[in-house]
Structure 1
Amino acid sequence: MALELVDYEQKTREAVMAFWGNREKAKQKALEAGGDHKGERAGVTAGNNMDGFLALIIDLVKANGLPHASIHQQRKLLTLPGFFRPTKLWDLLVVDQEKKQLVAAIELKSQVGPSFGNNFNNRTEEAIGTAHCLWTAYREGAFGKHPRPFIGWMMLVEDAPESSRPVRDKSPHFPVFPEFEGASYQKRYDILCQRLVQEQLYTTATIIAAPRTSVDSGDYSELSEMTSLQTFVTSFAGHIAAHAARQ
């Protein structure tokens, strides 16, 4: 089965440029409207920062055998039932309406400086909790008796000195795992993504790092083969193609 990867590297570069460009536009708009303290926050909360990555995922769905699948991006159609809470809002859902089957659910996240520490912990807890809640709901029949959906987690982190330099931890009673000792926040995200997959919380989890200067070039870097964008894209395309073949 030949997979169509829709020139994902070029589209990722375009998505990275759009990420930084949209963020800067939101920041400038807020500065003009309300002062310096609002600009950076507006850039972070701009709702369309990750739209380029959403477009890439949609292209993969259509190119690998599901051109007419129900691909949901509107907020009112992005909730799924949970087990520990009533519902969870996702960033993109792919649903087979004919079979009433959840095909894929995707979370897209980003983090820019300078507060990498607190945000990393929050992102970690959120990612683990979200997946555990969904799979427990799946086990209890919330999505019907169907094959496991693709559950994806993608993170873009700012490539900056604060995210790439070694970080020290304090654990007075028991030592931290050695792989975390002196690991930068980028490396910690890489470890997180690897373990999210190893523990079968996500089908695939990926992290890419991009500096703010990528607004003009789209340059980005990957941290490991297991968490690379290629791994995410090929795994997702394979899942879509397999679902299409079952039809």
Structure 2
Amino acid sequence: GLNMRNDGGFTTENTVDPNSDPDIIMFDNDGNPLPSGVLGRAFSGFSSTNGQDWYVDGVDIQFRRDGTNNITWNFGPGSTQFCCFDFESVALHEIGHAHQLGHIIESGAVMHYNISNGSDVRTLDGTADISGGDDVIAFSSSKPGGMAPLIGVGIEDEPLIRRHGLQVTAAFPNPAYDHAVFTVEVDRPQGVQVDVYDVLGRRVLQLYNGVMPGGVSSKLGINARDLPSGLYYYSVTGEEASITRAVVLRR
């Protein structure tokens, strides 16, 4: 599984920084407020010993303060009433993100992209949720000398992916400390949209939205300095296919 750093006590640390000790689980505050409508958010930090093999180095989880932004929590254990949001359900969802699971579109599932007031989603699905977590861990490896497990972050080694007349190269360099560059090519002129998403499934950048000429390799870049360090996905959508690839950005 995923180990979190904890000294067994309390901390006065109240600033989100998943790359520093200790890992914290906190409610938001005036200095670090969650965006409007957000119930919780998990932050992952990544580290490497050689610049090629990356692993999750830390996790911070932040929840909305009870009673703020019209949010009232049900801290259980009873069923959640219509007036409230279930804290256990949201916490389970964020722990899923800590395990590097992304959003899905399946109402009632733990990793569904949203949750409604009055809803309880407290049980892991053995086929989808547990198998998904096991799949992430299955990509892990460890090095001699007590190195923490290296948890796969979804970086694809395949240099080029082709699908229904759309092809997208792997980002280079990856991880990127300054700029990550990749190319997109379509076999015929068509509308193409290129977006960048964080691990919570939120769009953080739009790199392109227009018509691309056919048979021409278009180079696009992601500025690592524009975003916090972490794992991101760039999604290229054409008229007949969509391809999503991963990149780690470090500042």
Give the TM-score normalised by structure 1.
0.28
Larger radius of gyration: 2
Between Structure 1 and Structure 2, which shows a larger proportion of helix residues? 1
Structure having the larger proportion of residues in strand: 2
